Amino acid sequence: MIPFVDLKAQYQSIKDELSAAALGVLESGQYALGSEVQFFEREFAAYCGTESAVAVNSGTSALHLSLLAAGVGPGDEVITVPFTFVATVAAIVYTGARPVFVDVEPHSLTMNASMLERAIGARTKAVVPVHLYGQVAEMDPILEIARARRVVVIEDAAQAHGADYKGRRAGSLGQLGCFSFYPSKNLGACGEAGMVVSSDPEYLRTLRMLRDWGQESKYRHVLRGFNYRMDNLQAAILRVKLRHLEEWTIKRGAHAALYNRLLDGSRAVPVGLRPERRHVYHVYCVRTAQRDLLRERLRQRGVQTAIHYPVPVHLMEAWCGNQYRVGDFPVAERAASEVLSLPMYPELEESAIRRTAEVIAELGMSMQTEPPGGFSSAGVSA
């Protein structure tokens, strides 16, 4: 079996370092926040190129608190994309604001900046571009439009640790950048954790209060805050992993390059890479009109896959009610029916990538006698 992701392989490669870090926390007696959290905040902010960072207990909490720090609340609107994990939209709904969507580009599946200005209205308070799969959205026009309309930009960089856009790191481009350290992320905790990075001192001050019951100091509750603190244990683990992140990112890039070469000319089309962006390949995703058939054939041949994401959020009644209909965001809807994520993690062996590509090629050959359009991704930019 070729696993979609193998967290045990990563653990084995740094087992001694993680054990020492965890033991240090246990011996310190500091469990909620603590010195390891402070060290990790400084180190991760430096990695992202921002002034500081605020550690929280999940990526969803990072988004939620960033929106609140930016003043988003009931009656406001926040613009994002429908093709994302549900947490992006859930965080908006938590504030009482209304999510407003713009479609994604067909090439990168990130926010279509050309549609942004038309979506901004009198109630728009923030824009949340999503750096999907490990690739930064087209930020220059997004930032220009937001600046002209005095709208806050909050980057959902949950999948983009270390990704670059024109030489600047994900998270450092907008006013606030939000990261998830869910275990399967490129930089993953041994549990749940998240981070907000920023260079704005007022946002940072507000975030620190909001994550810890709104306290300015012990028992002095200035804001209606939350219990969103990061565990000291997770911070210690993440500090160890941060030291290895660049090495792991380089390996992911090499795996993606091999996939690209082996799949060139096949009927499974990789989601496109835009120039002037460093893709960190949290997910290696292909598109095909016969996605479900391909996934089943790969499963039969011992290759695990995943779908990110099968239903666009605008069609989820739990989060958007009946505001939107099928056809409102056609690029996102088509992507949801075509995307398939192949195995991708730093320890993935070359033989596994070659085997996965062979199965895809075999399926394409076996369907050559079928009517045109059987196994294809027509209209998708390579």
What the block records as the tokens of 226 is: 């939350």
3-class SS at 288?
Answer: coil
Q: CA-to-CA distance for 290 and 294, rounded, in angstroms?
A: 6
CB-CB contact of 72 with 95 (8 Å): yes
pLDDT tens string 212-259: 999 999 999 999 999 999 999 999 999 999 999 999 999 999 999 999
pLDDT tens string 108-131: 999 999 999 999 999 999 999 999
Q: CA-to-CA distance for 366 and 169, rounded, in angstroms?
A: 43
- pLDDT top residue among 265 and 328: 328
pLDDT tens string 315-369: 999 999 889 999 999 999 999 999 999 999 999 999 999 999 999 998 876 654 3
What the block records as the tokens of 160 is: 């983009």
Provide the pLDDT for residue 373: 39
Provide the pLDDT for residue 276: 86
Q: CA-to-CA distance for 162 and 136, rounded, in angstroms?
A: 10
* pLDDT band of 274, cuts 50, 70, 90: confident
* pLDDT band of 382, cuts 50, 70, 90: very low
Closest Cα partner for 313 from 184, 156, 168?
156
Reply yes or no on whether the pLDDT at 272 is more than 90: no
Provide the pLDDT for residue 16: 98
Provide the pLDDT for residue 379: 37
Provide the pLDDT for residue 133: 98
Q: pLDDT > 70: what percent of the chain?
A: 95
Q: Enter the pTM of the model.
A: 0.94
CB-CB contact of 228 with 209 (8 Å): no
Q: CA-to-CA distance for 317 and 242, rounded, in angstroms?
A: 38
* pLDDT band of 275, cuts 50, 70, 90: confident
Match 């056809």 to its residue by tokens.
327
List the 194-198 sheet strands across, edge first: 52-56, 194-198, 176-180, 152-156, 124-127, 77-80, 98-101
Reply yes or no on whether the pLDDT at 273 is more than 60: yes
Q: pLDDT > 90: what percent of the chain?
A: 91
pLDDT tens string 143-161: 999 999 999 999 999 999 9
Which one-letter DSSP state was computed for residue 4?
Answer: S
180-186: average pLDDT? 98
- Cβ-count burial 230-250 (b if 16+ within 10 Å, e if not): bbbbbbbbbbbbbeebeebbe
Closest Cα partner for 335 from 301, 302, 312?
312
Q: CA-to-CA distance for 144 and 311, rounded, in angstroms?
A: 30
* pLDDT band of 292, cuts 50, 70, 90: very high
